[in-house]
């Protein structure tokens, strides 16, 4: 099967989440991704937990379909191996500590001077320039600095997002940036530099609350599972104790909710609730009315009424509920992927391209492909032994 990125080689000095997420998606599309890891422990994300057959849940998620090469980048011989890989590579991705790549001779401009067709993607916390270029950046730090934590949680207590949203945002922009650079190279024949900052990635995702704050002079309130600027939009407990989330996005849905679910068509034109801004201002009264009605129904009855009324709604699942969700099984979204600890189930990438089956190859062990890759680079057995003797690989 031909995949969109067949024939593209990516070399990545990566760790944790953002860069590995970007390169895994490139691998999904057929790119050959060579992951450069430290000898011994490898990517420190391998040690985050042991939850998936003795392996890290983060690492298994982010690193399928890659080849692992161990190199000591503090060794000139180790750096020389990476440079030999880059002679024929199409893309280089790195998310080392600020300034580390340049100190190794692997900075973006240094590499572009040597390899004009190479696309270099640098992922950092706050960018390579500016007053915070040297700051360390982890996901929760970025969530705090970008203002996201001020929006999540309850009025009394802020909370972080429960997944690595800043890293994921950065990884997505690195992925799309590399794809864009590959398209550009197809036109110009020249490589380019893609720079992605986790802070700027999450700042982009903060667009709606940013405009709301700039325009109104106040930040959106923290309202738990409710929506700060739309109502009714949040969880409601039904008669059997289950929780159902309503999400009324327009006046048609509001009218339908009043007529078919609440059984009170007059509410649709009640001055307290006649438009979304009024409903937000009178949220407590509105929620009390909805809770009183839904409290007389069990979950099945409530869901059936909402479905018939064409009002958007959801159950409030836990993670196991997501794993067991009928949409994922019904649409055939699971595949078996090999790992050093045994096979696991993995989700097919969300973007389905007609005629293309995504690559879903195994997660590598640390250094699993080192000897094979060194042989491809022209090292004979004595050369490989020398590199191992000096601990360069």
CATH number belonging to domain 9-206+326-389: 3.40.50.10540
| pLDDT at 322 (0 to 100) | 92
Q: Taking residues 165-194, report their average pLDDT.
A: 97
* CA–CA distance, 119 with 86 (Å, rounded to integer): 10
pTM score, two decimals?
Answer: 0.90
233-315 CATH, one of 3.30.1540.10, 3.30.360.10, 3.30.70.1560, 3.10.129.10:
3.30.1540.10
* Angle separating helix axes 198-205 and 207-216, nearest 10 degrees: 60
| pLDDT at 228 (0 to 100) | 85
| pLDDT at 24 (0 to 100) | 98
Specify the domain boundaries for CATH 3.40.50.10540 within the chain.
9-206+326-389
Residue 290, both tokens: 């909805």
Instruction: For the chain, give the number of residues.
Output: 393
The question of whether 318 is a catalytic residue gets the answer no
Beta strands in the chain (DSSP E): 9-13, 32-37, 66-70, 91-94, 119-124, 193-197, 233-237, 243-247, 313-315, 334-337, 344-347
For the chain, give the percent of residues with pLDDT over 70. Answer: 100
* CA–CA distance, 21 with 170 (Å, rounded to integer): 9
Q: How confident is the model at residue 378 (pLDDT cuts 50, 70, 90)?
A: very high
Q: Taking residues 139-150, report their average pLDDT.
A: 95
Q: Taking residues 385-390, report their average pLDDT.
A: 91
Specify the domain boundaries for CATH 3.30.1540.10 within the chain.
233-315
Q: Give the containing element (helix H, strand E) for 139.
A: helix 139-145
Which of 49, 139, 167, 270 is catalytic? The answer is 167
Q: How confident is the model at residue 45 (pLDDT cuts 50, 70, 90)?
A: very high
Tens of pLDDT, residues 94-144: 999 888 999 999 999 999 999 999 999 999 999 999 999 989 899 999 999
pLDDT at residue 1 tops 90 = no
Residue 52, both tokens: 């998936």
Give the three-class secondary structure for 276: helix
């Amino acid at each position: 099967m031909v995949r969109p990125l067949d024939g593209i080689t990516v070399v990545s000095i990566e760790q944790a989440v953002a860069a590995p997420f970007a390169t895994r998606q490139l691998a999904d599309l057929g790119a050959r991704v060579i992951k450069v890891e430290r000898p011994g422990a490898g990517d420190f994300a391998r040690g985050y937990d042991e939850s998936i057959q003795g392996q890290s849940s983060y690492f298994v998620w982010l690193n399928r379909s890659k080849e692992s090469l161990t190199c000591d980048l503090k060794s000139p011989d180790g750096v020389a191996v990476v440079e030999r890989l880059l002679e024929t590579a199409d893309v280089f991705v790195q998310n080392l500590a600020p300034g580390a790549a340049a100190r190794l001779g692997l900075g973006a401009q240094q590499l572009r001077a040597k390899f004009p067709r190479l696309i270099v993607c640098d992922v950092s916390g706050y960018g390579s320039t500016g007053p915070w270029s040297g700051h360390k950046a982890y996901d929760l730090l970025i969530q705090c600095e970008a203002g996201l934590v001020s929006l999540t949680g309850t009025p009394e207590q802020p909370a972080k997002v429960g997944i690595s949203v800043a890293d994921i945002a950065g990884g997505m922009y690195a992925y799309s940036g590399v794809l864009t650079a590959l398209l550009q190279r197809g036109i110009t024949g020249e490589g380019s530099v893609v720079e992605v900052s986790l802070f700027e990635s999450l700042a982009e995702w903060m667009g709606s609350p940013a405009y709301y704050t700039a325009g109104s002079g106040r930040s959106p309130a923290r309202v738990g599972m409710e929506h700060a600027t739309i109502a009714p939009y949040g969880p409601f407990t039904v008669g059997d104790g289950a929780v159902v989330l309503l999400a009324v996005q327009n006046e048609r849905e509001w009218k339908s909710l009043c007529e078919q679910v609440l059984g009170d068509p007059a509410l649709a034109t009640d001055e307290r609730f006649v438009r979304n801004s009024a409903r937000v201002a009178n949220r407590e009264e509105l929620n009390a009315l909805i809770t009183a009605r839904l409290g007389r129904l069990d979950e099945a009855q409530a869901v059936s009424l909402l479905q018939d009324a064409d009002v958007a709604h959801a159950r409030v699942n836990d993670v196991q509920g997501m794993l067991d969700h009928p949409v994922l099984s019904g649409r055939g979204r699971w595949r078996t992927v090999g790992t050093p600890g045994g096979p696991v189930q993995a989700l097919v990438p969300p973007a389905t391209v007609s005629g293309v089956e995504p690559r879903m190859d195994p997660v590598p062990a640390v250094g699993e492909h080192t000897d094979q890759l060194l042989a491809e680079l022209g090292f004979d057995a004595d050369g490989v032994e020398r590199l191992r003797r000096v601990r360069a690989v």
